[in-house]
């Protein structure tokens, strides 16, 4: 039966090639589009996982509501207070309370690889006439390089030098450019109205991420001193053994404490909704190519069944069963689907290597790779094959069933008239 199906296909070469092309393009497009989308996505997620902590433990941000201050001013008994200008804003203390308890907890937790207490503060950097406001992050330099991959991006100097203390900083490449400083030069750092303090640049890092590259790091003590908040921290950054467990771990910790605990994926939840939209677009657009390809097969097979009525009659008169006839026509459609998809997947696979050689500037999110990243992971190919083959099977089964239902006598009667 299958061989007969192939003979029919070979006899109609041009039509066969056209139908095949539908699935070829559909699956190649799916594989490449998905590869580019997912390649970029994995790169982005990789960056998120490695350039930032897995879990952030931060001071709870409390926003004031209209009645937040009623009790403090008028006591618990006051039923209703009307403000001329209702209170608004944020509670002042944005510091992690009792960090010591956290250190003990994190020390004991086997899921934790490393953690570092941090204090971030907005400062004004200046070097001669050049000034820039940026975030200065105080950290434990040794732990910081274990919590994130920042240490890998140091282009000049040594990040660990910060550990020595004595007002040294590691500075991001973009910030360095803005200030026009080079390694071992000094910059002035000032917080609010206070007297500027000189810091020596001991390391320069370039992650490719604009936000990171406009920050600077110092030792926790130095930053606390500049900020005039000794012993205070506003965040503990944690790296876990398994980044995938981040949100679960964050959840379990938030049951234990007052602090705001956010995993990397919660922090970047908006990116995930973009991913979902991308997925929808990907499946819909390629799905429609597959549907069009399916309709191609459906139409051609329907016409073939009509053209081959006499063949069906003669085959049935030789003892070919309904099943045999269904198989002959179904196999034609499925064979096209399989052939087109296989070629499309192979082409997509090969072409993805070429795509990776295409040079691009840093991406829209400032992620610094200079070429396209195309994912070639197996599930993409599986999804593509599944989409194409379900479309091909659906499109073939209907005409094939019609062919199977024809009885020889009907065909003979109608064609002799």
Partner 1 sequence: MGIRTLNLTKTLGDPPTPILKNISLEIQDGDYVSVTGRSGSGKSTLLYLLSSLDHTLEGKVEIDGQDVNQMSAEALSLFRNKKAGFVFQFHYLVAELTAMENVLLPARKSGGISKRREIATTLFEQFGLKDKIHRLPRHLSGGEQQRVAIARALVMEPRYLFADEPTGSLDSENSEIVLNLLEKANEKQKTTLILVTHDPGFSRRARRQIHLVDGQFITP
Question: Where would I find the beta strands (DSSP E) of 245-354?
Answer: 260-263
Is 87 a residue that touches partner 1 (CB under 8 A)? Answer: no
- For residues 323-337, b (16+ Cβ closer than 10 Å) or e, as one string? eebbbbbbbbbbbbb
Q: Which two tokens stand for residue 173?
A: 């490449």
Q: Which of 8, 30, 125, 264 binds partner 1 (CB under 8 A)?
A: 8
Over the window 274 to 303, marking each residue x when it contacts partner 1 by CB under 8 A and - when it does not, the resulting string is ------------------------------
Q: Which of 81, 350, 358, 409 binds partner 1 (CB under 8 A)?
A: 409
Q: Which stretch binds partner 1 (CB under 8 A): 75-83, 181-189, 272-280, 319-327?
A: 319-327
Q: Which of 53, 123, 261, 315 binds partner 1 (CB under 8 A)?
A: 315
Question: Minimal distance in Å, beta carbon 322 to partner 1?
Answer: 7
Question: Minimal distance in Å, beta carbon 404 to partner 1?
Answer: 12
Give yes or no for a contact between 96 and 235, defined as CB atoms under 8 angstroms apart.
Answer: yes
Bridge partners for 55 per DSSP? 238, 263
Q: Report the distance separating Cα 51 and Cα 154, nearest Å.
A: 12
Q: Which stretch binds partner 1 (CB under 8 A): 238-246, 347-355, 356-364, 407-415?
A: 407-415
**Interface with partner 1 in residues 234-253 (CB under 8 A):** none
Q: Which is nearer to partner 1, 288 or 415 (CB)?
A: 415
Q: Report the distance separating Cα 236 and Cα 117, nearest Å.
A: 4
The number of beta carbons lying within 10 Å of the beta carbon of residue 123 is: 26
Q: Report the distance separating Cα 165 and Cα 153, nearest Å.
A: 21
Cα R_g (the chain), whole angstroms: 33
**Interface with partner 1 in residues 324-353 (CB under 8 A):** 324
Q: Which of 310, 377, 379, 390 binds partner 1 (CB under 8 A)?
A: 310
| Size of residue set near partner 1 by CB under 8 A | 24
Q: Which is nearer to partner 1, 244 or 413 (CB)?
A: 413
The number of beta carbons lying within 10 Å of the beta carbon of residue 316 is: 20
Q: Which two tokens stand for residue 184?
A: 């071992």
Is 98 a residue that touches partner 1 (CB under 8 A)? Answer: no
Q: Which stretch binds partner 1 (CB under 8 A): 20-28, 305-313, 340-348, 362-370?
A: 305-313
Spatial CB neighbours of 5, under 8 Å, sequence gap ≥ 6: 327, 328, 329, 331, 332, 335
- Calculate the CA dihedral of residues 187, 188, 190, 194 and round it to 10 degrees: 170
Q: Which is nearer to partner 1, 19 or 44 (CB)?
A: 19
Binding site for partner 1 (CB under 8 A): 3-4, 7-8, 10-11, 310-311, 313-322, 324, 408-409, 412, 415-416
């Amino acid at each position: 039966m299958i061989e007969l199906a192939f003979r029919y296909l070979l006899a109609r070469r041009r039509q066969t090639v056209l139908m095949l092309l539908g699935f070829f393009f559909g699956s190649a497009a799916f594989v490449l589009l998905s590869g580019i989308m997912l390649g970029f996505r994995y790169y982005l997620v990789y960056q998120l996982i490695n350039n930032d902590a897995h879990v952030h433990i931060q001071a709870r941000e409390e926003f004031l509501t209209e009645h937040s201050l009623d009790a403090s001013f008028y006591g618990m008994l006051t039923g209703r207070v009307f403000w001329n200008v209702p209170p608004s804003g944020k509670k002042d203390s944005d510091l992690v309370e009792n960090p010591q308890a956290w250190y003990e907890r994190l020390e004991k937790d086997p899921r934790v690889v490393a953690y570092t207490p941090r204090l971030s503060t907005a400062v004004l950097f200046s070097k001669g006439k050049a000034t820039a406001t940026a975030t200065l992050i105080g950290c434990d330099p040794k732990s910081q390089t274990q919590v994130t991959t920042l240490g890998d991006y140091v282009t000049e100097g040594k990040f660990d030098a910060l550990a020595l203390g004595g007002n040294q900083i590691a500075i991001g490449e973009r910030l360095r450019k803005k200030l026009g400083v080079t390694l071992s030069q000094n910059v002035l750092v000032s917080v609010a109205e206070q007297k500027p303090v000189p810091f020596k640049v001991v390391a320069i890092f370039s992650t490719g991420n604009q936000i990171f590259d406009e920050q600077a790091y110092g030792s926790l003590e130095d930053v606390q001193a500049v900020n005039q908040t000794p012993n205070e921290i506003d965040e503990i950054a944690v790296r876990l053994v398994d980044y995938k467990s981040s949100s679960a771990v964050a959840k379990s910790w938030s049951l234990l404490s007052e602090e705001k605990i956010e995993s990397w994926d919660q922090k970047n939840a908006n990116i995930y909704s973009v991913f979902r939209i991308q997925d929808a677009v990907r499946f819909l657009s390629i799905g429609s190519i597959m549907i069009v390809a399916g309709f191609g097969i459906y139409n051609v097979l329907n016409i073939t069944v009509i053209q081959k009525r006499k063949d069906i009659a003669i085959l049935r008169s030789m003892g070919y069963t309904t099943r045999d006839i269904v198989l002959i026509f179904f196999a034609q459609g499925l064979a096209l689907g399989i052939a087109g998809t296989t070629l499309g997947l192979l082409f997509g696979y090969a072409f993805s290597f070429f795509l990776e050689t295409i040079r691009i500037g840093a991406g829209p999110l400032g992620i610094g790779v200079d070429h396209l990243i195309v994912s070639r992971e197996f599930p993409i190919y599986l999804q593509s094959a599944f989409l194409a083959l379900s479309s091909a099977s659906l499109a073939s089964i209907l005409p094939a069933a019609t062919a199977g239902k024809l009885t020889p006598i009907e065909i003979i009667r109608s064609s002799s008239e």
